[in-house]
Amino acid sequence: GESVGLHLPTLSVQEGDNSIINCAYSNSASDYFIWYKQESGKGPQFIIDIRSNMDKRQGQRVTVLLNKTVKHLSLQIAATQPGDSAVYFCAETLGGSNYKLTFGKGTLLTVNP
């Protein structure tokens, strides 16, 4: 079946470095993508989203890039901080609806001081 996956299950970076978390999706019909952050013992927290009619969107210290040609999504975190340590999930859905979000496998980001 269609699924969302991640290339790297773990990523370790130094504080102050930039982080890039990647996600491959296989459903070419997906038109809305979201990145979530989940800290230990907490629920997922929305970071940033992007619709399929865009290829880049920026937030505060975060940028999401969408490459529909190769069905690839990435999350860039600038000047990574220890508080960024968490599991990051990409999620996709159809029709711009939240109702059936499909989450990817997740990447554990560890920021070393």
Partner 1 sequence: DTEVTQTPKHLVMGMTNKKSLKCEQHMGHRAMYWYKQKAKKPPELMFVYSYEKLSINESVPSRFSPECPNSSLLNLHLHALQPEDSALYLCASSQARTGELFFGEGSRLTVL
The footprint of partner 1 (CB under 8 A) covers 32, 34, 41-46, 49, 89, 95-101, 103-106
Residue 82 or 96 having the CB closest to partner 1: 96
Q: Give the C-alpha separation, 89 to 4, whole Å.
A: 10
Indicate the Cα dihedral angle 23, 58, 40, 44, nearest 10°.
Answer: -80
CB of 10 to partner 1, least distance (A): 11
Amino acid at 86: A
**How far apart, in whole angstroms, are the C-alpha atoms of residue 36 and residue 106?**
9
Q: Measured between alpha carbons, how far is 33 from 108 in angstroms, rounded to an integer?
A: 19
> Minimal distance in Å, beta carbon 16 to partner 1?
28
Alpha-carbon dihedral sign for residues 44, 46, 47, 50: positive
Choice between 46 and 67, CB closer to partner 1: 46
**Quick one: 106 or 111, whose CB is closer to partner 1?**
106
Q: How far is the CB of 45 from partner 1 (least distance, A)?
A: 7
CB of 70 to partner 1, least distance (A): 22
